[in-house]
């Protein structure tokens, strides 16, 4: 196998967390006296971090001002901390895929735009934190995906050359992150892509699940 490390996106790639996010958004909007959003809307809003999710929830005809957004984010953080991971589900093949990837001996990492306050507790709650030698959240580095900094930070913690890393994600942001960092990228066809399904031509491979990704990587 030509890869020497593997980094994984979290929401939409490993875990379906929309139920928890939607509940936190519902409670936030309810507390603020605003109209609710549907779960389908929340699914489209996910992908660029907590602040963007909250801003999209608040935006109807015009976006919120900075003070309104900051206040709403504080409310969201409180509600999400209470529901984070309660209804999160593994996508098909993730449990088996992570175990198989770990069995290769390659160092593994999570690279997500989710804030660190929620990333670690989520991974612990669903029982997969032990697979990862590095966890890079949306506030670990000064920039978030698709900036290459989070992925580069993960590879540095893994002691791996980014050029020999494989990144696995579910959206164009993961593709852009990997391209910006200079590593290969496989994409899964499920997950959260802001209404823009990933195209096989834009990534190195479109794989059904993590086990297929491992088989393909072994042939690379």
How much is the pTM? 0.93
Nearest one of 154, 139, 14 to 88, comparing CA atoms: 14
> Do 203 and 123 sit in the same domain of this protein?
yes
> Do 9 and 24 sit in the same domain of this protein?
no
CA–CA gap between residue 75 and residue 198 (Å, rounded): 32
> Do 124 and 74 sit in the same domain of this protein?
no
Strands (E), 19-164: 89-90, 108-111, 134-136
Task: With beta carbons less than 8 A apart as the criterion, state whether 113 and 141 touch.
Answer: no
CA–CA gap between residue 192 and residue 175 (Å, rounded): 13
Residues 99-129: tens digit of each pLDDT: 999 999 999 999 999 999 999 999 999 999 9
Distance (Å) of CA 196 to CA 14, 41, 147: 19, 14, 19
Whichever domain contains 33, its CATH number is: 1.10.150
pLDDT of residue 155: 98
Residues 83-93: tens digit of each pLDDT: 999 999 999 99
Task: Choose, from 9, 11, 16, 20, the residue flagged as catalytic.
Answer: 9
Full domain range(s) for residue 24: 18-83
> Do 52 and 93 sit in the same domain of this protein?
no
> Do 77 and 100 sit in the same domain of this protein?
no
Q: Give residue 220's pLDDT band: very low, low, confident or very high (50, 70, 90).
A: low
CA–CA gap between residue 176 and residue 185 (Å, rounded): 9
Whichever domain contains 119, its CATH number is: 3.40.50.1000
Q: Give residue 197's pLDDT band: very low, low, confident or very high (50, 70, 90).
A: confident
> Do 24 and 104 sit in the same domain of this protein?
no
Residues found in the chain = 220
Taking residue 149's Cβ as centre, other Cβ atoms within 10 Å add up to: 17
pLDDT of residue 204: 97
9 is catalytic: yes
> Do 120 and 183 sit in the same domain of this protein?
yes
Residues 6+ apart with CB under 8 A from 124: none
Nearest one of 150, 117, 118 to 134, comparing CA atoms: 150
Task: With beta carbons less than 8 A apart as the criterion, state whether 112 and 10 touch.
Answer: yes
């Amino acid at each position: 196998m030509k890869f020497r490390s593997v980094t994984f996106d979290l929401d939409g790639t490993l875990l379906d967390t929309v139920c928890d996010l939607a509940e936190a958004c519902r409670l936030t909007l309810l507390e603020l006296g605003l109209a609710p959003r549907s779960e389908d809307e929340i699914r489209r809003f996910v992908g660029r971090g907590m602040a963007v999710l909250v801003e999209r929830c608040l935006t109807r005809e015009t976006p919120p001002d900075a003070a309104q957004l900051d206040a709403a984010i504080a409310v969201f953080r409180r509600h999400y901390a209470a529901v984070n991971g309660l209804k999160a589900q593994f996508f098909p093949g993730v449990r088996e895929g992570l175990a198989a990837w770990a069995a290769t001996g390659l160092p593994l990492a999570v690279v997500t735009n989710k804030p660190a306050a929620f990333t670690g507790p989520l991974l612990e709650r669903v029982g997969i934190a032990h697979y990862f030698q590095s966890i890079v959240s949306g506030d670990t580095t000064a920039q978030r995906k698709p900036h290459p900094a989070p992925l580069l930070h993960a590879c540095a913690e893994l002691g791996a050359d980014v050029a020999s890393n494989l990144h696995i994600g579910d959206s164009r942001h993961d593709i852009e992150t990997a391209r910006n960092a200079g590593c290969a990228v496989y994409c899964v066809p499920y997950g959260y892509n802001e209404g823009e399904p990933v195209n096989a031509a834009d990534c190195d491979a479109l794989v059904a699940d993590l086990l297929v990704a491992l088989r393909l990587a072994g042939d690379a």
